[in-house]
Amino acid sequence: MEQVKFPADFLWGASIATYQTDGADNTQWHAWEVENANQLAANYETAFAPVNPGYQAFLAEAKDQTNYVAGTGIEHRKHYATDFDLLAELNFNAFRFSVEWARIEPVEGQFDQAEIAYLKTYLHSLKAHGIKPVLSLWHWTMPTWFTDKGAFEHKANLKYWDRFVRFVLTELQADVDMILTLNEWNVYTFMSYIAGEWVPNQTNFVKGTWVAQNLVWAHQHAYKIAKEIKPAFQVSVAHNTSSQYAGDTKLNTKFALAWNTFQRDSFFLRQTYKYMDFLGVNWYNTDTFIAGQVQNPNTKINDLGWDMRPGQINLILEQLYAKYHLPILITENGLADADDSDRQWWLEQTFTSLHTAMEHGVEIVGYLHWSAFDNFEWDKGFWPKFGLIAVDRQHDNAREIRPSARWYATFIAAQQGK
């Protein structure tokens, strides 16, 4: 790749979510996955044969119902100290992780001090490795007592969210500065309440819109609570977005582009950007709209069949920065790539595009790859491999740094003048 130079204080690293690395039995997702594992396994060929010619490479794992049950995940909780050794070996200076509400407040109104003690030890270990923690408060999973009340379907339930946020940030304030309140509000709302593919499996646009609005308020509340506790907290969200193209000039294409921008970005960000110190961005793809529909070229696809054009991430970053004038942290960006044949190329293309955005005036403060480790990818289970570090679940979750991650480490070292 061409030589590009990033600021000396740029954040380099990767992200995880606690449920995806360690599971948690008392969440709404665990109950759902146990009930649906057989069906998810049976549907694999129907879902992926049309979109990925290489789908048979994953057939054995993807047809196994145990693939769809998180269990204890990759046991990062057990091995975090040696996992952090690997992250330090990769020259990371930042790492995003999430807390699990169901572990912190397993019973309504009862907080587990042992879990807080664990998190403090976790944070101390991370910082001892020279790595800055970026903490996510909500990455889709919730305690079953909260979802039994309707979760974010009801504005009145925000009092439980507020109590949880206040407790966590009060307890952990000494060890963390960067907070992400919500992860991908739009993906959760769409998949759970509009498409109906995730728990609670509803297809109600009105209810989905109301959940989205309650998540707007949830972020606003969390921001205010954070600033009350510690004004120096830097607060944002991990916002899922994409770059987009008009492949023709038809009216329905123009309408589709406008609607996509509104429902994916503007609805939430217009109401929340003033309650942010920076903007966290999760980016995986570009969408090309033709005749009002997404029709991507799919010249290169990842193992999930997703179109790959990483060199176009700058397009949406430039648009978002022009609208909201917030510094941007890439909080997720990556690909399912089990044989590691495209990950280095993806990183090279992405970094060149990020540099282009910065040359065009966008303030970007860091890049966190998804994911640090192979882990549990929700209704896809364990078969998609997003990790910079491979995890062999058949051999005691053994870790192995992939060649692309070695390249990433070398790139970081050059940026850091090592």
Tokens of 6: 């990033």
Of 18, 4, 320, residue with least CA distance to 140 = 18
pTM, entire model: 0.98
Tell me the mean pLDDT per 10 residues along the chain, length 418: 89 98 98 97 97 97 98 98 98 98 98 98 98 98 98 98 98 98 98 98 98 98 98 98 96 96 98 98 98 97 98 98 98 98 98 98 98 98 98 97 98 93
- pLDDT value at position 338? 98
Helix, strand, or coil (residue 390): strand
For residues 272 and 262, give the distance between their C-alpha atoms in angstroms, rounded to a whole number. 14
Helices (H), 230-359: 251-261, 267-272, 313-324, 343-359
Helices 403-415/343-359 angle, 10° precision: 30
For residues 228 and 161, give the distance between their C-alpha atoms in angstroms, rounded to a whole number. 16
- pLDDT value at position 150? 98
Tokens of 402: 């992939």
Helices (H), 173-329: 185-189, 205-229, 251-261, 267-272, 313-324
Sign of the four-CA dihedral 10, 323, 345, 50: positive
Of 95, 57, 61, 62, residue with least CA distance to 76 = 95
Q: What is the full DSSP assignment across 50-100?
A: TT-TTGGGGHHHHTSGGGG--TTTT-HHHHHHHHHHHHHHTT--EEEEE--
* CA count, 13 A, side-chain hemisphere, 162: 12
Of 148, 161, 55, 143, residue with least CA distance to 105 = 143
- pLDDT value at position 418? 82
Helix (H) or strand (E) holding 237: strand 234-246
- pLDDT value at position 407? 98
